[in-house]
Amino acid sequence: MIVKVLIVDDSAFMRKALSSMLSGDPNIEIVGIARDGLEAIDKVERLKPDIVTMDVEMPRMDGITALKHIMERNPVPVIMVSSMTTDGAKATLDAFDLGAVDFIPKNLSDLSVNIVKIKEILIDKIKHIARKRVIKRHVRAVTAPKVIDVPKSMTARTTGERKIGIISIGTSTGGPKALQDVIPRLPKDFPVPIVIAQHMPQNFTRPFAERLNQLGQLEVKEAKEGDVLRAGTAFVAPGGRHMKVKRQRGLETVINISEDEGEFIYRPSIDALMSSVAEYFPSRALGVILTGMGNDGLKGLAAIKKAGGRVFAQDEETSVIYGMPKAVVDAGIADKILPIEEIAGEVINSV
């Protein structure tokens, strides 16, 4: 299958960089170039690309406005090209709500992986997304999923009586939308802490945590060094750094933030987070792996499973990219394989 790509960007440098990276693959064809949103709308209709890379800030019509029109008239998978500022992060999150499936940074060196991996990852990502034809049609209002109530019998139990003492979630491509389908369903009085590793660069994770916090009743925050884990709070790993849990001051469990790359390609690393959870919550951890490319999380989830914990994986049908969940399923360590809309309920049933 030849993947037809339309590149939309007002920067000649960015158009050339993306074209150069993608055109070297024999299974990718650059079918067109657009310099602003108006050209993008026209060329999507005429050229029928399999996937579009869309700049956010452009003259005449910006990428967000163009995305709205495209999703209403000719829905196609769209990857946003975003600046790494806080404003750029907020615009990209708006784009996810409107139907975009992923993003890449305007400065490609800002990706949370080694520079030598950027081309390979971008090509693989485009092929996976285009072939699955991931499309979420334009919606005019973003509403949180309905909150699921925790049965009183569960909230009445003490911490020591609980079969699960922490929930750890890992995700990558497609993760922002997947997490918006899970976290807002959890109630304010959720009885155990939640830790989340989403592959995102710096400046993106705080606005994303704030958005999750606004969508539901559960408290969601970007984690910082020394945060004490507490029930009813979800901690999102800060972009560009690793997050782990550790025990200090007696039995108190806290967040540890590190920039040490070590053996891990991604920052934040799902493996790093899950491995620490397995160490400090043996037999009492639930690890959840959601949509994403590659196999980050497999090692950490295997550790959780070996320590007596449980593992849930998102199913292929509802995953934008069935890479990370597939690695876990193929390894035989998933206790349950679930569509995204059932994960919150199963998490609640486990605590």
pTM: 0.89
pLDDT of res. 24: 86
Domain assignment present for residue 333? The answer is yes
Q: Which of 10, 296, 319, 350 is catalytic?
A: 296
Based on the residue annotation, tell me whether 69 is a catalytic residue of this protein. no
Which helix (H) or strand (E) segment holds residue 55: the answer is strand 51-55
Give the end of a domain, one of 100, 132, 164: 132
CATH of the domain at 204: 3.40.50.180
Q: Which of 199, 227, 276, 315 is catalytic?
A: 199
Residue (of 245, 209, 210, 239) closest to 226 by Cα position? 245
Q: What share of the chain in percent tops pLDDT 70?
A: 88
Domain assignment present for residue 116? The answer is yes
Give residue 92's domain range: 3-132
Domain assignment present for residue 147? The answer is no
pLDDT of res. 149: 63
Domain assignment present for residue 19? The answer is yes
Domain assignment present for residue 222? The answer is yes
Residue 157 sits in the same domain as residue 117? no
Joined together, the tokens standing for residue 300 give: 């950490």
Residue 238 sits in the same domain as residue 303? yes
pLDDT of res. 161: 55
Residue 341 sits in the same domain as residue 232? yes
Tokens 């000719």 map to which residue?
74
Residue (of 9, 107, 141) closest to 66 by Cα position? 9
pLDDT of res. 282: 95
Kindly give the parts of the chain with pLDDT less than 50.
110-115, 137-142, 159
Residue 53 sits in the same domain as residue 158? no
Based on the residue annotation, tell me whether 10 is a catalytic residue of this protein. no
pLDDT of res. 114: 47
Residue 123 sits in the same domain as residue 187? no
The residue count of the chain comes to 351
CA 216-217-221 angle, 5° bins: 80
pLDDT of res. 288: 98
Total domains present in the chain: 2
Q: Please list, residue by residue across 96-134, b when 16 or more beta carbons sit within 10 angstroms of its beta carbon and e when fewer do.
A: bbbbbbbbbbbebebbbbeeeebeebbbbbbbbbbebeb
Residue 172 sits in the same domain as residue 106? no
Give the end of a domain, one of 103, 132, 161: 132
Residue 102 sits in the same domain as residue 175? no
Residue 99 sits in the same domain as residue 193? no
Give the end of a domain, one of 99, 132, 165: 132
Based on the residue annotation, tell me whether 87 is a catalytic residue of this protein. no
DSSP at 158: -
pLDDT of res. 139: 44
CATH of the domain at 85: 3.40.50.2300
Domain assignment present for residue 105? The answer is yes
pLDDT of res. 121: 79
| Long-range residue pairs from 14-17, CB within 8 A, at least 24 positions apart, any chain | 14/55, 14/81, 14/106, 17/108
pLDDT of res. 138: 42
Domain assignment present for residue 335? The answer is yes
pLDDT of res. 144: 58
pLDDT of res. 134: 59
Residue 37 sits in the same domain as residue 177? no
152: CB partners within 8 A, 6+ apart: none
pLDDT of res. 67: 97
Q: Which of 168, 172, 269, 350 is catalytic?
A: 172
